[in-house]
Chain A
Amino acid sequence: MNLDDLKQRLIEGDAPGTAAMTKEALESGLPAQKILNEVLIPSMGVVGDLFEKNEYFVPELLLAARAMYGALDLLRPKLTEGDYQPTGKAVVGTVQGDLHDIGKKLVMIMLEGNGFEVVDLGTDVAPEKFLEAVKESGSRLVGLSALLTTTLPAMERTVRALKEVDSSIKVMIGGAPVTQAFADSIGADGYGRDASAAVALARQLLGNA
């Protein structure tokens, strides 16, 4: 079967089409792992590029994500532990005092689209919640988001809390008011200016760039 068609369906955010063709691919005997690595992940890479070029915007990204999650649901039962290695694990959330989630959601989608396992803690997340989630999931990477300048201090508190517990935990931050200089000043390990940059950063921080 032609995997390019499946890629195209996913890039266009056609959820029913993506699901149907994923099923077809599985039935034709293609291993789930191959579909994941050679179709889903590269397709989401294309979506990320289109987003970066302003060709795609939030709705297109959300549609592509929906198609991707549908396909992942079909693949997951067929992925045995042995042949499936997530790119990495990450915990993400919007910091305490901030209720905005679109930016964080986009980062989560792009991370998952690149084979990461992501724990999403939602919005208005207290530092302790991040600590708990890191402990439970065993993730070595945390992504913090903030939209309001008023919640930047909460970001700093969260970074400090995480680093106090384990200074080797990598923390990346992002959001409209965040800058590289701010990231440096609060001891975060990196700053991603958009969802695509966040993926590159996540890979780099986990040492599998």
Chain B
Amino acid sequence: MPNDGKRKPLHVALEGLGLEVQVVPGISLLDAVRSAGLALDSECGGRGTCGECRVRFLQGTPRPTVEDAALLSQDELDGGWRLACQTFLTADCRIAIPQRVAHARRRKIRILTDAAGLPTTGRPTLSGYGIAVDVGTTTVVCYLMDLARALQLGVASFANPQSAFGPDVISRITYAHRGPAELRELQRRLVSHLDRNFASLCKGAGIAPESVSRVTAVGNMTMMHLLRGVDPWPLGVAPYEPVFLELPPFPAREIGFKRFGGCEMHILPGVGGHVGSDVVAGVMGLDLTRRPGISLYMDLGTNGEVVLCSKKAMAGASCAAGPAFEGVHIHSGMSAFPGAIERVDEEDGRLQLDTIGDADALGLCGSGLVDAVALLLRRGLLLPSGRLVAPQRVPADVPQDLRERVQDDGDGRRFLLSRDGSREDVVVTQRDIREVQLAKAPVRATIDLLLAGAHLKPEAIDDVFVAGGFGSAVRSESLLALGVVPEEVRGRVHSVGNTAGFGAKLALVYPERLEATHRLARQIRHVELVLREDFRQAFAAHIPFPRDGQR
């Protein structure tokens, strides 16, 4: 890039958003867009391999790079499409960001199911106010609580601002490890958002920020490390162990809180590996240790965490499920925002789609994808091996509306979900199905191995609790159809919503529940699976989908 001493700022106009940013020449368009505060997805972390960050140039279109040519069709290149991460700006330009992303920016995040009140498991002994925080990799939720009355006064949620540096924990770990400045930046972004959201919660409830005395925070192991400002690098390389499991409480100002600097901050303890405090809080919140019988707790996302609980022993493991359950790396995939298809069903021989917010279908989130795969399997449009049938091989009993959606455009087989001339078709591709297979196989292998380790058969499980965003949205019927959970637990699968946030609230209000999380974190035995040969075998065995009757 030519650089003659004086760098004149460049102007990047973002069509349709009414935004213009000024940037220094030479920075990537991805960084430029992010500097405008837009969370443009980049699954690959800006390496030019995923194609998520594609944008269309309207003016000042640069020559395509090798990466552009590899991921975009000639029509797309001619139409001005480029990868934002591979475009290093040298001139003013005007770009259009795909509707999916532009839309996502104006999202109102759906709050996961949770009751405003807490069970009266004890008498609150504290007074004043507190805030419980659930730091998700994608979404952060804060609950303002009246400690004396165990009453929720308000909820605030926001997209995790660290998403600009990568959608998953591994890309955040990579970024944080670049240096102390990057680590601090991730921490600062999160904490400043928390500080601001805390303030608006207080304002909404009409209480003074000074009257908030206590904060509990839960999240996966990486989020906990980033919140505390500890380099999570050891979580990113074998044997994938955290730097800390438990922390004593500390004043919130130590991690950069301003208005709420005086609060006593409790980062709840984790179990080990990637099994973090969100899982501990969930298991504590559901009171699984006191439940009779055997229960299985699972949180499904890019990482899947599974805890097997019985009176005798508890064991927990995590596995890399890959991003399919989050709608990432999927052809028409998107996060669970308005416009995402979250349910796919069949009624009177016709396809039924439900989108979040009843908006026009823009894409497909994890639960919609899983539903679609279940439907395809049920109708014989998808073989248990994971191969979509050819259009001419569609079984005779498949209704017309479904039959017409089975396509093979030479580029590969696909199933059409939604077509609206003004935007790209929403489809499930053969490759998407492979991604689902790679996401579900490790989860099921984890369940199998935890059961085997406890000398239990699947039928011994009394209840399965599925937590988390994807877990709340997905139907148990689809989990069974795909073989994510064993057939033997049919009828005993419960979707429990945001149990991590619920546990954080309990630990905030009841000191004995906070104590319980510390006990629990030590009681749950962490099982590391990735090295084990039997895990590899179970993984491979569960890549195909179950055949009818032998799931």
Contacts and interface: CB of A to CB of B under 8 A. Distances in A.
Interface of A: 54-55, 57-60, 62, 96-102, 123-124, 148-151, 154, 177, 179-182
Given A55-B387, A150-B177, A101 B536 contact: yes
A150 B170 contact: yes
Interface of B: 44-45, 47-49, 66-67, 170-171, 173-174, 177, 233, 236-240, 385-387, 412-413, 430-431, 434, 437, 530-531, 536, 539-540, 543-544
A58 B237 contact: no
Given A54-B434, A57-B386, A58-B543, A148 B170 contact: yes
Contacts of A100: 530
Contacts of A177: 44-45, 47, 49
A59 B430 contact: no
B530 A181 contact: no
Contacts of B177: 150
Given A59-B544, A181-B48, A182-B47, A124 B238 contact: yes
A151 B434 contact: no
Across the A-B interface, the 5 shortest Cβ-Cβ residue pairs? A150-B236, A97-B237, A99-B530, A54-B430, A149-B174
B540 A59 contact: yes
A99 B531 contact: yes
A179 B412 contact: no
B543 A98 contact: no
B431 A57 contact: no
A147 to B, nearest CB: 8
Given A54-B412, A58-B540, A100-B530, A149 B386 contact: no
Contacts of B531: 99, 123
A149 B170 contact: yes
A191 to B, nearest CB: 11
A99 B430 CA distance: 27
Contacts of A181: 47-48, 66-67
B173 A57 contact: no
Contacts of B66: 180-181
A181 B66 CA distance: 9
A96 B412 CA distance: 36
Which residue, of A60, A150, A154, has the highest number of chain B Cβ atoms within 10 A? A150
Dominant SS among interface residues on chain B: loop
Given A148-B236, A182-B47, A60 B536 contact: no
A179 B238 contact: no
Given A54-B412, A60-B385, A151 B237 contact: yes
Contact of B67 (A58, A59, A62, A179): A179
| From A62, A96, A148, A182, residue with most partner B Cβ within 10 Å | A148
A158 to B, nearest CB: 14
A154 B237 CA distance: 10
Given A99-B531, A149-B174, A150-B177, A179 B543 contact: no
22 contacts: A54-B412, A57-B385, A57-B437, A57-B543, A62-B540, A97-B238, A98-B237, A98-B238, A99-B240, A99-B531, A100-B530, A102-B536, A102-B540, A148-B236, A150-B173, A151-B236, A154-B237, A177-B44, A179-B49, A179-B67, A180-B66, A182-B47
Contacts of A96: 237-238
Given A97-B238, A99-B240, A149-B45, 13 more contacts: A57-B386, A59-B385, A59-B543, A60-B385, A62-B540, A97-B236, A102-B536, A148-B170, A150-B177, A150-B236, A150-B237, A179-B67, A181-B66
B17 to A, nearest CB: 30
Contacts of A148: 170, 236-237
A122 to B, nearest CB: 10
A151 B531 CA distance: 16
Contacts of B173: 150
Contacts of A55: 387
Contact of B171 (A149, A179, A180, A182): A149
Given A97-B238, A98-B238, A150 B431 contact: no
Contacts of B437: 57
A179 B47 contact: yes
B544 A150 contact: no
A201 to B, nearest CB: 16
A99 B47 CA distance: 22
A55 B431 CA distance: 10
Nearest to A182: B47
A153 to B, nearest CB: 9
Given A54-B434, A55-B387, A62-B540, A150 B530 contact: no
A150 B540 contact: no
Nearest to B233: A150
A99 B173 CA distance: 17
Contacts of A62: 540
A93 to B, nearest CB: 13
B68 to A, nearest CB: 12
A92 to B, nearest CB: 16
A197 to B, nearest CB: 13
A65 to B, nearest CB: 11
A54 B431 contact: yes
Contacts of B386: 57
Nearest to A50: B387
Contacts of B47: 149, 177, 179, 181-182
